[in-house]
Chains A and B, each alone.
Chain A
Amino acid sequence: MDDLKHRLLDEFQRDFPLTPRPYAELAARLGVDEALVIDTLRTLHAQGVISRVGAVFRPNTVGASTLAAMAVPDDRLTSVAETVSAFAEVNHNYEREHAYNLWFVVTAPSAERVSAVLGEIEARTGIAVMDLPMIEDYHLDLGFELRH
């Protein structure tokens, strides 16, 4: 990865300028043209390396969310995962190495809707959903430091 890409990924994960031409501010700090910053970010976004330039909301400040897990028989995992992913309220959905092998995050406007989604998933799959809402957050999200 070239140096400009690396610095764009590493140095602007927070405190992104809230000024009319933010990419020009990045460009000034990096010593390059605004157009090159915009172009490089667009490329990184198209490649899926960045999901967006924008806001990360603190959990449960805007809407409600929970982490949920299911113990799915191996031969059903792909199809159950598809059922879960089909809900717009599900954003992250991963296989993990445990008897509880399917883990996903549900986010919705209200706690009631989160519960309803979990209930619908149970009804459609016939598999219990373990609901593990956050009680306390100990780690302020400061972004992800890239190591060389």
Chain B
Amino acid sequence: MLRMFRSVIAFVGLLQLAMLVPAHGQANDDAALRGEIARLAEADFRGVEAVVQSLASTGDPAVTSVLRALRSGDVYWRKSDKLVVIGEKAPGRSLLLTDPLTGEEIETVKKRETKKVKVNNTLRNAIDAALGGLTLRASDPAIRMQAAAQMFAKPEPKALPALDAAIAAESDPDVASAMRDARAVLILKSSEADKADALDAIARMVARGDAEARNALASITSDDAEITEGAALGIEKIDTSLRYWGYGQNIWQGISLGSVLLLAAIGLAITFGVMGVINMAHGELVMIGAYTTFAVQEFIRNSAPGLFDTSLFIAAPLAFLIAGTVGICIERGVVRFLYGRPLETLLATWGVSLILQQAVRTIFGPNNREVGNPSFMSGAFELGGLTITWNRLWIVIFALVVFFALMFVLKRTALGLQMRAVTQNRAMAADMGIRTGWVDAMTFGLGAGIAGLAGVALSQIDNVSPNLGQSYIVDSFMVVVFGGAGNLWGALAGAFTLGIANKFLEPFSGAVLAKVLVLIFIILFIQKRPRGLFALKGRAVDA
């Protein structure tokens, strides 16, 4: 299998040499290409691999679309006449067939009448390598960039001359730099590279300094003492810097985990912290937010797929409203009978949580539901040695925005003022003409609505299932109690402290023990500060 892979690459290398010849015969023999493509029908993996290499060796840009379709599994052959086509999904379990070279539509058939040309990972790698070679000199710099990255990730020394030529012709400095990186890897991989070249390459990799560069240095094959020593020194250097970046990565992951905890806990900081209701249905309100996101996305998928990227912007206010409404219903229907009996709110809201869970199970089914990431929340970027995923970054930002918006509502609006008045002294607030019942409902609704917002964010990283709420409820209580009930800053500090502590413990102790240690830490911490990190002071405390 491996040898096979090598030979493919060899052909790719040859092809790249061929590409250096300018004014490539444009009137490439269509029939020959079609003949090759036809061999895809009924081919096994080896057969497909052979076709890929011979297609690549033609050097005809026309084959890139076939190779791309093959890579994404869109090449089929018709059972009736073994015609190889590109298939596009059409409604009703059928396929729209198009010609692989011209892209002309042929017909729409039932899926059962075709058979897919299967690809596996080995083949995908081979196709990637072929595409990398074919597109190294494409006109679009983005594609050239991709090709350079492809070569970097899957280096093959034989492609060196083609790469050198591409570098010489390259005008875009970023792409040229990426190509030089790729070239360095190729040189490190090849056994007969020039010594000076190799040392240059090592220097380049050390300067790059990331895990891939270390990988390239580690896989060096030369037996020259100077080169191996240089590589070893380089690895050491990279390792040192990677270790420091590792700490940074831990902090980032801690912040990210903290932001998830903050989002989950912040609604509870209102219902539990401010109002004193031990709201066991809090997790289910989060779940409602997540299911709202699912419903919105489902609606968009079916009616306006183009708007998918905006789905979260639609889902967020909707989740706030729906969860908030459910919250107000809970408050008016259950909790309001229980003021002054805080521990009993625990029992009633526990009952509510069971009902909500089962309701969601009945309506949406017990399975996980698919909530997709919009494009701006997919993937990751590198910041120095840090890998930061977009969805986590957005969640951190979202958590902070929600937090400060809530702060604003509590401190700067009339409703916030009334909320604080009612929780501090209900009787006096009522005497001042505040409709305490209305304020209670609004406060609870606000907490519930924020739980719904948390659900929108959590749907991006976790399961959307009826169990979603259960998995966050205990953590949420820990955050609020650790931070000090009744103080939003406490929730903020608590969430980030616990998140970062967890992430620093995890590499040493493993995920399970890290969580246990954090819980023990909370228990001990409460002994030291029985009212949490930011304790409320004054007479209200003993109430």
A and B part of one assembly? no
